[in-house]
Amino acid sequence: MHCGLCLPTCPTYDATLLERNSPRGRISLMRAIADGRLESTPAFADEMYFCLGCLACMTACPAGVNYAQLFERARAEAEESGVLRAPKRNFIRWLTIRWLFMDLARLRCLGSLIRLYQRLGLQSLLRRSGVLKLLPQRLQQLEAMTPVIQPKFSAALIPPLTPPVGRKKYRVALLTGCAQDIMFSDINRDTAEVLARHGCEVVTPPRQHCCGSLHAHNGELGLARLLARRNINQFPPDQFDAIISNAGGCGSHLKHYADLLADDPVYREKAELWDAKLKDIHEWLVLIGLVPPGPGAPAQTVTYHEACHLSHGQKITAQPRQILRAIPGLTLIELPESSWCCGSAGIYNVIQPEMAGRLLDRKLQRILSTHAAVVATGNPGCLAHVATGIRRANLPLRLVHPITLLAEAYRHEVQEGTRERFLDALRRDSPAI
C-alpha cells in the first residue's frame, strides 16, 4: 500500500512536508534495509528517532499496517547497527534505560532527591536568581522540564490490598508505573479509590517494575522482554479479573506482551492471557458499568486532550469522554485536534526539543481556544509535557487525569450526602427549619 492517507495525520510530515519524514517514507526506508538494498546509516537512525511514535498513521491506515511494530524493530535495528554510538549518548542511555528504569528503587531515590531540592526552595531560588541563564541552552531546556515530584509515592498512599466498597465483584491488580509513581502518585491513589467504588478489590504491591515501553521504543527489545517477564511473574494473569493501567502510553505497550514474547515457549501463553486481562482504567470502568457520581461536584468546564497511545495505540476514545460527561456539573468542551500529538511522546521532548516545543505550542493554542478552565488527559507524559507549557506561559489552567475528576466527584458526593443527612436530621428535630 502506498496510498499516503497517513501523510496528513503525521505531525513530522506536517511540519516539514518531506516524504522521508512521513510514515510512507519511513516504511520505504525500513523495507530497503530489510531487503538489503540499504545499509543502516546515521541518517536512517536519525529518521527513526525523528518519528514521534504517536501512531496517528495507524489510525489513518486503511490497510491496517502495524506501524508500531515496524517502528520498534526499526529503532532496535538502528541501535544494533551501532551507527549512533558516541560516548556521551552511550553513557546517558546506560544511566537511564539500563540502570535507572531497570530497578524502580533507584528511580524513587532520584525522585526523593529532586523532591528535597524542590521542597527546600532551591529550585525556585535558582530560577528566580537568573543563575540558570548561565547554563548552556540545552541544559536550560532540560531544567525547565523538571517535573514536580509528589510529596508521597504510591506505596505510601495505597495499601497493598484495597477492599471494595460494598460487595466484592472483581479482583484487579493496579500498575503504579515508573514516572507515574513519582510524579503522579495521587492519580494512582484516585484510581485505587475509584476501582474500590466499583466493587473491585485492588491489589497494589509496593514494589513494582517498569512496563518496558521506554526500552521497547528506544531499541532495547531484550530489556523490554525481561521487564515483561518480571511483570507477568509479579501479576500472574490467571489470578486477576483485570490488570489495570492508568497511563495511556504504558497501557499501549502492556497490551502487546504476547508479540514481544512470541518466541518464548515458557511465557508465550501467559503473555496472551496477560494481554487479554490488561485494561486501561477508562476502558475497564465502562466495561463493568460506570457508577455515575451523585450531585455535589462544583461546576467546571473541561476539555479533553487524547493521549496518542490511548487513542491511536489502544483506540480508547469514547470511554474517557463518557466518564467525564457522567460527572455532575462538568461541561465537556471538545478540543480541536484533540488526538494530535502534544510532543511528549515518551522521551521525545528530551531528545527532540524543537519539534516537541512546536507541537506543545500548537496544543496550548488549541486548548486556549476552548476557554475551558480544566484540561484532562490520561497519560503521565502528556501531563508532564503540557504542564511545562502551562507553567512557562503562566496560563490559568488546571491539568488533571480524568480519573482524578471522577474521584473528586465521588468525594463531593459523600460530602453532599453527609450535609443532606445532617439537614434531614435537623429538619426532623426542628420542623420549623
Residues forming contacts to ligand SF4 in the complex (CB under 6 A) are 9-12, 23, 26, 51-57, 67
The nearest distance, CB 25 to ligand SF4, in angstroms, is 8
The nearest distance, CB 312 to ligand SF4, in angstroms, is 8
Q: With respect to ligand SF4, which residue has the nearer C-beta, 32 or 122?
A: 32
Q: With respect to ligand SF4, which residue has the nearer C-beta, 153 or 340?
A: 340
Q: With respect to ligand SF4, which residue has the nearer C-beta, 9 or 188?
A: 9
The nearest distance, CB 144 to ligand SF4, in angstroms, is 24
Order of strands, sheet of 398-400, starting from the edge strand that comes earlier in the sequence? 330-333, 300-304, 374-376, 398-400
Q: Are 343 and 424 in contact (CB under 8 A)?
A: no
Using CA atoms, how far residue 220 sits from 106, 206, 283, in Å, is 19, 26, 29
Strand pairing class (278-280; 242-245): parallel
Q: Where are the beta strands (DSSP E) in 183-291?
A: 200-203, 242-245, 278-280
Phi, psi values for residue 400, rounded to 5°: -145, 165
Q: With respect to ligand SF4, which residue has the nearer C-beta, 11 or 346?
A: 11
Measuring CA to CA, which residue among 293, 297, 298, 307 is closest to residue 335? 307
Give bridge partners of residue 398 from the DSSP assignment. 374
Phi, psi values for residue 345, rounded to 5°: 45, 60
The nearest distance, CB 23 to ligand SF4, in angstroms, is 4
Q: Are 81 and 45 in contact (CB under 8 A)?
A: yes
Give the three cell numbers for residue 250.
504504558
Q: With respect to ligand SF4, which residue has the nearer C-beta, 67 or 257?
A: 67
Measuring CA to CA, which residue among 65, 74, 82, 69 is closest to residue 24? 65
Q: With respect to ligand SF4, which residue has the nearer C-beta, 52 or 403?
A: 52
> H helices then E strands: how many in the chain?
24, 9
Q: With respect to ligand SF4, which residue has the nearer C-beta, 6 or 297?
A: 6
Q: Which amino acid is at 330?
A: L
Give the three cell numbers for residue 302.
473541561
Q: With respect to ligand SF4, which residue has the nearer C-beta, 267 or 348?
A: 348
The nearest distance, CB 21 to ligand SF4, in angstroms, is 8
Measuring CA to CA, which residue among 348, 399, 340 is closest to residue 375? 399
Q: At what angle do helices 185-197 and 402-429 cross, to 10 degrees?
A: 60
The nearest distance, CB 57 to ligand SF4, in angstroms, is 3
The nearest distance, CB 214 to ligand SF4, in angstroms, is 16
The nearest distance, CB 52 to ligand SF4, in angstroms, is 4
The nearest distance, CB 269 to ligand SF4, in angstroms, is 30
Q: With respect to ligand SF4, which residue has the nearer C-beta, 43 or 426?
A: 43
Cα(34)–Cα(28) distance, integer angstroms: 10
Give the three cell numbers for residue 155.
506505596
